Chains A and B, each alone.
Chain A
Amino acid sequence: MIEFTNVSKTYPGGVKAIDDVSLTIEHGEFVVLLGPSGCGKTTLLRMVNQLEDITEGSIAVEGKNIHDLNKIDMRREIGYVIQSNGLFPNMTIEENVMVVPNLLGWSKEKRAERFDYLMDLIGMPPENYRGSFPHELSGGQQQRIGVARALAADPPVMLMDEPFGALDPIIRSRIQEEFMDIQKKLKKTILFVSHDIDEAIKLADKIVLLKDGEIQQFDRPAELLNRPVNDFVSEFVGEDSVLKSLNLYQVKDLQATLDLPAVEGSPDGKVFHPHDSLRHVLAHLLHPSRQYVYVEGEDGTTNGPVSVEHIEAFVREITA
């Protein structure tokens, strides 16, 4: 858990980088700090592990005010991943991943065991990479190692500063998915900086949208997209916000709002799974040759028909 209480940062000269931010990130929550460049998102993140000073207010990690903790010790208990990976070229992959366990004085056996576990977790065979050096790896592999290194001592809290920002779009999206799978297993409390709204929507439980060091909106992704609280937020989420938000809703969410009859015999359209995204369904229905689709019910029945009008009604509801 991370709690920001009335946190401000003023640079000498009076420029306010962070302006009275209060924010609570619950245990196991994945929160993305989002905003245009210069909005203070990286500064806010770096305040948590005391790489940046706080002018006013306080931050507590796992219930303890960071001001009262030893900087060095508290950093070892927080995972830290940065965009340009920051791997150490003079160390092997194993040495890189095991930096924090080494600092904590883990035994050699425990370290080797942990290395194997982490490499399996990120999908890189440990025996192939143990003695390799960072420069021998691709950008995507280096970033995976960066993630494994941050996870090494099993910290409850992770700080991630645009960790996938430097990767090409295909690799980035694959690593995002891999990371979501890892997060599902490990349930870390994550604070993640991004300037990319699509990345934020994809990964976040909640998004903090920042502008000039102030929180504009702190909400679930669907809420941010469909119920922006001010002009800045609606402009930032873009004109396609409704379409983006349909990614976040599944067929079963639509079903819950409708009372669809079961279909007798074979349906005259495609049948969607309850976990398919509504954007998928809409994209399918937009083709002029298709009028209806059907959806699979909880009990295995095929229900329907569903038309574009149903989705429109659903959108009216979520944006109301």
Chain B
Amino acid sequence: MNTKAFIAWVVKITFWVLIAAFFWWTISNNLFSQLLENPDQFLGLLGRHLQIVLISSSMALATAIPAGILLTRPKFRKYEWIVVNTANLGQTIPSLAILALAMGFFGIGIQAAIFALYVYSLLPILQNTIAGLKSVDPAAKDAATGMGMTPAQILFKIELPMAASSMIAGIRTAIVLNIGTTALAYLIGGGGLGVWIFTGIQLFDNTYLISGAVPVTLLAITADQFFRFLQLFLVPKGIRKAQKAAAAAA
């Protein structure tokens, strides 16, 4: 075993030990009592949380992926810097500030939260879509054109499969961030699991805190793992094998 692998192994073990210790502490102090005693309320908050995440990130996917594809076409390439810089701005403004601004516009409630999280999720998806499409070997595209593939065939059979890895990584980052940031939706009346987290902070009550924060964390981890798993299906085998071979050679 080389040093790198050994360190990775130590980190992993430490991580799981800490997790186990944490759950032992929460369970022995009955910190999940809120969740266990009010399952209906919990499911309501979780449902709202998921609703905000799903709507805002679906909107972000539906905007950022087509935009990324469009901005890598020869006709629109010159607009790339404007759009990416604008999206960058959305990411630079602190998440709390976006929520506040959205509230000023949409008033209190779920719409403001959804809009703010939508803006917040755009950049990682857009950036990785553009990076992935740009990384496609120009020789492959030239060969494809010269052999008589239509632009649509080149996009779907060559470019998107080759960019899939980078694109899914961007989507994963955006959604994991989105799940965490949705906890702030409570502040502008958006609901979600943030309700318990902030109640816990205000009342200094660990049972609220843990019953809200742990499910959010688990949700983020689950989403992260789900997209890693999805990568196995959506990234073509040849690309995965080539990446592995390149990593082994490095």
Contact = CB atoms under 8 A, between A and B. Distances in A.
A86 B236 contact: no
Residue among B142, B148, B162, B242 with the most chain A CB within 10 A? B148
A114 interface: no
B146 A133 contact: no
B26 to A, nearest CB: 46
Given A88-B158, A92-B238, A82 B146 contact: yes
A51 interface: yes
Interface in B194-237: 236-237
B75 interface: no
A59 to B, nearest CB: 15
A58 interface: no
Contact of B153 (A92, A103, A150): A103
B238 A135 contact: yes
A146 B245 CA distance: 22
B139 A103 contact: no
Interface string A136-159: 100000000010011000000001
A85 interface: yes
Contact of A90 (B139, B162, B245): B162
Contact of B238 (A82, A91, A149, A159): A91
B144 interface: yes
A150 B148 CA distance: 11
B140 interface: yes
A75 B241 contact: no
DSSP class of B's interface residues: helix, strand, loop or mixed?
helix
Residue among B140, B141, B144 with the most chain A CB within 10 A? B140
Interface in A305-319: none
A92 to B, nearest CB: 7
Given A80-B143, A86-B142, A89-B140, A103 B238 contact: no
Contacts of A86: 137, 139-144
Nearest to B159: A90
A72 B87 CA distance: 36
Given A89-B238, A135-B242, A103 B148 contact: yes
Contact of A82 (B139, B149, B161, B242): B139
Contacts of B143: 80, 82, 85-88, 146
Interface string A67-100: 0000111111100101111111111100000011
Contacts of A84: 137, 139
Interface string B91-109: 0000000000000000000
Contact of A75 (B139, B148, B161, B237): B148
A49 interface: yes
B150 interface: yes
Contacts of A72: 148-150
B146 A80 contact: yes
Contacts of B30: none
B55 interface: no
A86 B138 CA distance: 8
Contacts of A88: 140, 143-144, 157-158, 162
Contacts of A74: 148
Given A86-B140, A88-B140, A133 B145 contact: no
A134 interface: yes
A254 to B, nearest CB: 44
Given A82-B139, A91-B236, A99-B144, 8 more contacts: A51-B145, A51-B146, A80-B147, A87-B143, A90-B161, A90-B162, A99-B147, A103-B149
Interface of A: 46, 49, 51, 71-77, 80, 82-92, 99-100, 103, 133-136, 146, 149-150, 159
Interface of B: 137, 139-150, 153, 157-158, 161-162, 236-239, 241-242, 245
14 contacts: A51-B142, A75-B148, A80-B147, A82-B142, A86-B139, A86-B141, A90-B162, A99-B144, A99-B149, A100-B148, A103-B149, A133-B237, A133-B242, A135-B242
